[in-house]
Amino acid sequence: MGAAACDAAVEELTRLLDQVEEPLKQTFQNVHQGYPTETLVRFLKAREWHVPKARDMLVDSLNWRIQNEIDSILEKPIIPVDLYRSIRETQLIGLSGYSKEGIPVFAIGVGLSTYDKASVNYYVQSHIQINEYRDRIILPMVSKKFGRPISTCIKVLDMTGLKLSALNQMKILTAISTVDDLNYPEKTKTYYIVNAPYIFSACWKVVKPLLQERTRKKVHVLHGCGRDELLKIMDHSSLPHFCQREGSGSAKNSSNDIDSCFSLDHPFHQELYHYIEGQALNQELIKQGSLHVNIPDQDPEDAKIVEVIEAEFHKLGEQNGSVNGDHKE
């Protein structure tokens, strides 16, 4: 798509957005954080530059934010620190550093995440809080530092320990993925897959052809822990702990080790938790408990991909004797 056509699409979407009600315009400010054009482009990309579809997607997202009080999710409710620690130990995600271009690098321990210490609502709430902290605190900070809009992140996905039993987590993973796809589109510039076992390779082979071309281009499956490839785009200090040496994997690092970007003791999680805690203390009423965030309906194409993944897991399970058992690499 040419630059002129892109500019025209942004102008048309801007005009359509000017027609929405004031509450939607206000929450849009929390979304774009001073960079409305870049935000409109993300929604346009997500709908293949089809302006009416991008407009509907954006309006649905803004309504979702209002209905679920997403603008105040960094203020309330506050999660008790022991529960937050349990979530961090089972939903392995953290900010490991920044690329040489200033893009935040998030590490995710896909293979060893268990999601077994809290309700679905807590995990979804925690995930959205990380998204909002990234978009409202981290990205504006690095944009100011580098003097240009930085609106995306890099994700390094560690597949160490991935088993067929991951099928049991599909409900939570689907909920989180749906929230991201419909409300935080095009926020990830590149996905790097590391420490990939056979089970991932088998699923990726059948899922890859179903993905849109722009999504396929974002996914890079690296050899081993991916250290050498990742060092081309980031310094060693920003490498996730599971990439710092070959065979290091998440399993070799305690979640309580400060060097682990999943640990509550890591600066990112300390800053995030205390930021939310501080914001909550400024409110007249401090409420503890999970938010019951409404999960949007999944896109039919995404639902098809989930079905394919589930079918492939069942197929591999039959080959190995148990859908919930370990696999043989």
Query: Residue 10 has which token pair?
Result: 């942004």
Spatial CA neighbour of 280 closest among 129, 96, 139, 172:
129
Residues 153 and 189: their CA atoms lie apart, in Å, by 6
Q: Specify the pTM.
A: 0.90
Query: Low-confidence residues of the chain, pLDDT below 50?
Result: 248, 250-256, 258, 285-286, 323-325, 327-329
Domains in the chain, start-ordered, CATH in brackets?
Answer: 3-67 (1.10.8), 81-281 (3.40.525.10)
Q: Print burial letters for 49-78: b (CB count within 10 Å at least 16), e (below 16).
A: bebeebbebbbebbebbeebebbbbbbbbb
Strands 104-108 and 93-98: antiparallel
pLDDT tens digit string along 59-102? 999 999 999 999 988 886 556 778 888 898 899 999 999 999 99
Half-sphere exposure of residue 185: CA atoms within 13 angstroms, side-chain side: 22
DSSP labels, 89-134: HHS-EEEEEEBTTS-EEEEE-TTT----SS-HHHHHHHHHHHHHHI
Residues 107 and 93: their CA atoms lie apart, in Å, by 6
Spatial CA neighbour of 64 closest among 319, 287, 293, 246:
293
Please tell me the predicted confidence (pLDDT) of residue 76: 64
Give the count of beta carbons closer than 10 Å to the beta carbon of residue 291. Answer: 20
